[in-house]
Copies of this chain bind each other. A is one copy, B any other.
Amino acid sequence: MAMKGVLRPGHIQLRVLDLEESVKFYGDVLGLVETGRDKQGRVYFKAWDERDHNSVILRQADMAGVDFFAFKVDGKAALDKFDADLRAYGLATERIAAGELLETGERVRFELPTGHKIELYAEKTDVGNGMPYLNPEAWTPAAEHGIAPLRMDHALLYGPDIEKAQAILVDVLGFYLVEHVLLEDGKTDLAIWLSCSTKAHDLAFVRHAEPGKLHHIAFQLESWEKVLRAADIMAMNKVTIDIGPTRHGITRGTTIYAFDPSGNRFETYSGGYSSYPDWKPITWTIDEVGRGIFYHDRKLNDAFLSVVT
């Protein structure tokens, strides 16, 4: 008991337009650690403080965006049970053999009504965070190579039918709602923030006509001062910043939104509260959504609701 079932976001596969330019960006500017390349030409990265072999996989493609987003579950039995539960719920699932992704066990894939492919898996090789499990230090030089986030943290996805996605994540996978924004009708959700842990969000959705879109993938930093450092490094490397440094009203996290060379938005964020499943969700009305998203400016910028990949 305690932490069971779905543990955390485990990997995301992103489409990029120019692989080598992107490898340079994810490795030297964002400061992820490259951990491998496979026969398909995909390039694997992890954040320095993650222990599992990979969390971000880049695939060259003609169009930017997200191929799939995955969660690690606590063991093979849980994986099988989730597969059965998803099928019982009426969803088609697909089994992808161990090894199709480097150092990653068998995956169960299904598609949410929002048009996003979600994966579950139970095994990924522990390659460590660069420090021994015996008498480690507090951090390593990798913690200062580029922006150097601690981990791939969450994603915000855009698509239709977000209430159906919420039902699956809550009823089948054990997530809970942390915050949500209501549309003008005061009933329908424009956006939802869902957690499978004590994080204010492990996965979030905004209602959007076109399915399967990515708003951003988020990486966690240690402090507001590291957010400043991230913004500085973006400036030095001519990274296009969407907004920030600023704070979100929703989750209270401090943040920068910026774009990778292919136009995929990413977030480097820090802070935000911890939440628990027994907590009452926080509700935002549409007239206050600007403050909810960007607490200081108190209005959405043009890009927030329109620019996705």
Q: Residues of A at under 8 Å CB distance from B?
A: 1-8, 49, 51, 72, 74, 78, 126, 133-139, 144, 150-151, 173-176, 195-199, 222-225, 228, 231-232, 234-236, 238, 241, 244-247, 249, 252, 254, 256, 271, 273-274, 276-285, 288, 291-292, 295-298
Contact = CB atoms under 8 A, between A and B. Distances in A.
A232 B197 CA distance: 27
Nearest to A225: B225
A4 B7 contact: no
A6 to B, nearest CB: 5
Contact of A283 (B134, B144, B274): B134
Contacts of A225: 223-225
A217 B196 CA distance: 27
Contact of A2 (B173, B247, B249, B280): B173
Contacts of A8: 198, 276
A274 B270 CA distance: 13
A246 B222 contact: no
Copies per complex of this chain: 4
A93 to B, nearest CB: 17
B138 A247 contact: yes
B135 A291 contact: yes
A296 B74 CA distance: 35
Indicate the member of A277, A283, A296, A297 with the most B CB atoms within 10 Å: A296
A10 to B, nearest CB: 10
B7 A276 contact: yes
Contacts of A138: 232, 235-236, 247, 249, 252, 295
B4 A2 contact: yes
Contacts of A4: 1-5, 174
A299 to B, nearest CB: 10
Contact of A296 (B1, B245, B282): B245
Contacts of A224: 223-225, 228
A2 B3 contact: yes
B235 A273 contact: no
13 contacts: A2-B3, A2-B6, A3-B3, A3-B195, A3-B276, A135-B288, A138-B235, A198-B199, A223-B224, A228-B247, A234-B296, A235-B295, A245-B246
